[in-house]
Amino acid sequence: MRTKVTGYLTQKRGFYYVVLNMPSDIKGKRIRKTLSTGLSTARNMTKAKEVMREMIREANAGEEVHGVMERKAVQSTAPESSSPRPDMLFSDYLQFWLQWKRSTWEEVTYSGYTANVNTWIAPYFSQRGTKLNEINVLDIEMFYAHEKNTRNISGNTVAHYHANIHKALVDAVRLKLIPHNPASDVERPKKDNFVASYYTADELMEMFPIFAGTKMELPVLLAAYYGLRRSEVVGLKWSAIDFVNKTITISHTFERVNVDGKAVDISKERTKNNSSFRTLPLIPEVETALIAAKARQEKQRKQCGRSYCKKYLEYICVDDMGNLVNPNYISGNFSNILRKNGLRPIRFHDLRHSCASLLIKNKIPMKDVQVWMGHSSFATTANIYAHIDTDSKQEAADMISACISLSGSPDKKVGKKSPPKRSA
């Protein structure tokens, strides 16, 4: 009887890999095969498990199993240099499109598109043999229904898939491969109503000691006090701190993404948008932590000598060996650390929401909150945090109640005057 293939997930350099326990060879030696899922460890556990199950299923069916990069090559029957054809598989066209447009996108954009296409979109349409010149509205809507109903994917994620498919087909029309873009006629997937989760001031105070003295201390403090995005936290440099004028300037970002199966560091001397570039007052508690961190880093550098990493000397959030704190480590471990210490688990990004909620609940005008958070528009701030502004809503309710009172005398109701007295 043939031994069944089993497997498990492991993590390397911020990404999930599948380790398959293959049947023993003729000498009885157990064979293990490690394959990349192409998924980062940041909130992708469910997707990674599904990829693992599919790989195990393929192996037990006697099929050749490939990692994300090898799978990409197997799926694409057309070489990169070949011209796309109207009758080619839609999945092959998507592979052509990714390589054709790659030079026009930033690495972060390319990484996101590649993950969506190679992991979910292309395999779905490849399995069904859908051709580029035959794909229609029903095909696309059936894919969205499959993602939402079978895989239980959020509306936000399906909306990202829609954006990828729509853009790819726009270019197919431009290349005159198809006469019309069917994705334009598809009912656009509705995004889920987002309600930000956040910690109260008391919960934050209970949380801070947990991370004190660890490589997560500064990322947590910066996210909670300033509402910084993860890329802004990791990208923060010592040159951004003005200890004389007591300011902190958010002007640099750092991200680590998966590009063609490899972890790529993307450092930018700019922020997400123009509004995200901002200079804020240096809060005393944060200043104290920064001074202590700077002294600790200088001490570690001297003690470790040549072993100390010199690549990230400009950066604030590094470990004791000078290595930059991995962005995926921050997101992937934050909730688990909270849970292990008996605290309500929230995402690392929810510290940003916690900061905004504290500002709003303490009567800071929404326009000032927008500037502090670095939102591109007032509408963004208002839409995300409108549900938090309960105090102003209560003030409005009290005003309405005072103006329109059912308990007052008829003569005192708003806009009503007593009739004039008649003379005898």
Domain identity same for 259 and 372: yes
Tell me, what's the pLDDT at 409? 52
Do 247 and 379 sit in the same domain of this protein?
yes
128 has a pLDDT exceeding 60: yes
What secondary structure does DSSP assign to 327-377, as a single string? HHHHHHHHHHHHHHTTPPP--TTHHHHHHHHHHHHTT--HHHHHHHHT-S-
Helix (H) and strand (E) counts for the chain? 16, 8
Question: What integer pLDDT is reported at residue 71 of this predicted model?
Answer: 53
SS3 422: coil
Q: Are residues 215 and 335 in the same domain?
A: yes
- Give a yes or no: residue 396 inside a domain: no
| CA triple 211-299-338, angle to 5 deg | 5
Q: Residue 413 has what pLDDT?
A: 46
Q: What's the chain's average pLDDT?
A: 84
Write out the two tokens for 92: 């092959």
- Looking at residue 257, the DSSP 8-state letter turns out to be E
Whether pLDDT at 342 is above 50 = yes
Q: Averaged over 149-163, what is the pLDDT?
A: 91
- pLDDT of 350 > 70? The answer is yes
- Read off the pLDDT of residues 28-62 as tens digits, 9 standing for 90 and up: 677 788 888 877 776 678 888 888 888 888 888 77
CA 109 – CA 259 distance, rounded (Å): 10
How far is CA 21 from each of CA 70, 94, 126, 298, rounded to the nearest angstrom?
19, 32, 27, 46
Task: Please check whether residue 49 is in contact with residue 40, taking contact to mean a CB–CB distance below 8 angstroms.
Answer: no
Three-state SS for 19?
strand
Domain count of the chain?
Answer: 3
Same domain, 277 and 330: yes
Reply yes or no on whether the pLDDT at 201 is more than 60: yes
Question: Which backbone phi and psi does 195 adopt, to 5 degrees?
Answer: -120, 110
What digits encode the pLDDT tens for the residues 362-399? 888 888 989 999 988 877 777 777 666 555 566 667 77
Say which residue, 36 or 204, is predicted with more confidence.
204
Residues spanned by the domain of 51: 6-65
What pTM was estimated for this model as a whole? Answer: 0.66
pLDDT at position 416 over 60: no
- What mean pLDDT comes out for the span 95-109? 89
What span, in angstroms and rounded, lies between the C-alpha atoms of 248 and 240? 6
- Average pLDDT of 393-412? 65
Report the percent of the chain where pLDDT is more than 90. 51
- Please indicate, yes or no, whether residues 294 and 364 belong to a single structural domain of this protein: yes
What pLDDT score does 25 carry? 62
Mean pLDDT for the stretch of residues 146-158: 90
Measured CA to CA, the distance from residue 177 to residue 240 in angstroms comes to 50
Whether residue 404 is contained in a domain is answered as: no
Same domain membership, residue 78 and residue 61: no
What's the confidence (pLDDT) of residue 103? 86
pLDDT for 424 equals: 44
Tell me, rounded to whole angstroms, the distance of Cα 311 from its chain centroid.
Answer: 26
Question: Element (H or E) spanning 291, and its range?
Answer: helix 284-304
Cα gap 205→114, rounded to integer Å: 40
